[in-house]
């Protein structure tokens, strides 16, 4: 059966993405669900939540980078390895590690020079990521808005100097993590709005102001082709069928459809983490489609 629950796949240049938020908000888990074929760049132990919740082991496709230069080289490794995405988890930590390496090798007297070297390395990585032949995804800690010399410094990814502005400037998608306790059973959301206090944007203009914390479904909705886990060849068809069923009823029967779908997936012997993953993607796909059917930008201005 053909699915109508997502936009037609389009020819898209690879996406450069940055998501930021407080530790423990679900950034790592979302990248695990969203990019199961990615090369992950992370510190030892950082990807434990993916193994625990997503139902697969990311270790065979994980590398460690001590500096920005290491991470930049791994973009080439990912491309040559035939991977469609590289995930840097966590880019704020990588910036700290890079600065520590610069400090250890620094012999000059001008302290500002160290920050200049960090900025140079970060912007060089940024440029390589922007022109990479694959998707590049950065997760970062959150830096709150602040005032300096009477001027507002917008909140965004936690990076030194003016990098919270200059790094996201080249990204296609910049999202801030948040929580919506009324959203069940997954309370994590991404925010993407023209908020003067925070850095956020979507160049493809498909992400709603409040979106499910699901980068894969946001990207699919924006027309990107995002691959599924090679061990779950059945998953996309099931997601599409469940989402289509929910969309056809207007929401009144979502719970009933979800319970029935869960039972059918369980009866096929699929593992519980993979069923949760499938239901999550279906529910989030529906949320994005319904958001797109809601108030238009012109209507928001009373036109």
Summarize pLDDT for 37-81 with one digit per residue, the tens.
Answer: 999 999 999 999 999 999 999 999 999 999 999 999 999 999 999
Grouping H, G, I as helix, E, B as strand and the rest as coil, residue 294 is: coil
> What domains sit in the chain, N to C, each tagged with a CATH number?
16-221 (3.40.50), 235-293 (no CATH)
Give the contacts of 2 (CB within 8 A, at least 6 positions apart): none
| Mean pLDDT of the residues in the chain | 91
DSSP for 75-94, please give it. Answer: HHHHHHTT-SEEEEETHHHH
How far apart CA 156 and CA 19 sit, in angstroms, is: 9
**pLDDT for res 11:** 53
Name the band, by pLDDT with cuts 50, 70 and 90, for residue 111. low
| Tokens representing residue 168 in the block | 């996201």
**pLDDT for res 185:** 83
Report CA Rg, the chain. 20
Is the pLDDT at 302 greater than 50? The verdict is no
| Tokens representing residue 192 in the block | 């993407």
């Amino acid at each position: 059966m053909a699915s109508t629950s997502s936009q037609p796949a389009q020819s898209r240049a690879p996406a450069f993405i940055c998501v930021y938020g407080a530790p423990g908000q679900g950034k790592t888990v979302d990248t695990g669900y969203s990019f199961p074929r990615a090369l992950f760049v992370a510190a030892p132990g950082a990807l434990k939540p993916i193994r625990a919740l997503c139902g697969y082991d990311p270790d065979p496709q994980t590398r460690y980078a001590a500096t920005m230069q290491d991470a930049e080289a791994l973009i080439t490794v990912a491309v040559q390895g035939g991977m469609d995405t590289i995930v840097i988890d966590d880019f704020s930590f990588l910036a700290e590690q890079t600065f520590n390496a610069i400090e250890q090798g620094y012999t000059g007297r001008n302290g500002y020079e160290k920050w200049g070297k960090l900025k140079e390395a970060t912007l060089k990585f940024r440029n390589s990521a922007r022109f990479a032949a694959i998707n590049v995804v950065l997760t970062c800690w959150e830096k709150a808005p602040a005032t300096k010399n009477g001027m507002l410094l917008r909140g965004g990814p936690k990076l030194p100097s003016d990098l919270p502005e200059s790094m996201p400037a080249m990204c296609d998608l910049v999202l801030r993590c948040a929580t919506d306790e009324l959203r069940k059973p997954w309370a994590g959301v991404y925010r993407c709005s023209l908020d003067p206090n925070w850095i956020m944007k979507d160049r493809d203009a498909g992400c709603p102001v409040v979106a499910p914390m699901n980068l894969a479904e946001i990207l699919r909705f924006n027309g990107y082709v995002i691959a599924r886990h090679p061990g779950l060849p059945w998953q996309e068809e099931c997601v599409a069928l469940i989402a289509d069923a929910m969309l056809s009823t207007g929401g009144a029967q979502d719970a009933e459809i979800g319970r029935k779908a869960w039972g059918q997936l369980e009866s096929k012997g699929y593992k519980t983490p993979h069923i949760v993953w499938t239901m999550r993607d279906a529910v989030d796909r529906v949320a994005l489609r319904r958001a797109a059917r809601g108030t238009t930008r012109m209507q928001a201005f009373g036109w």
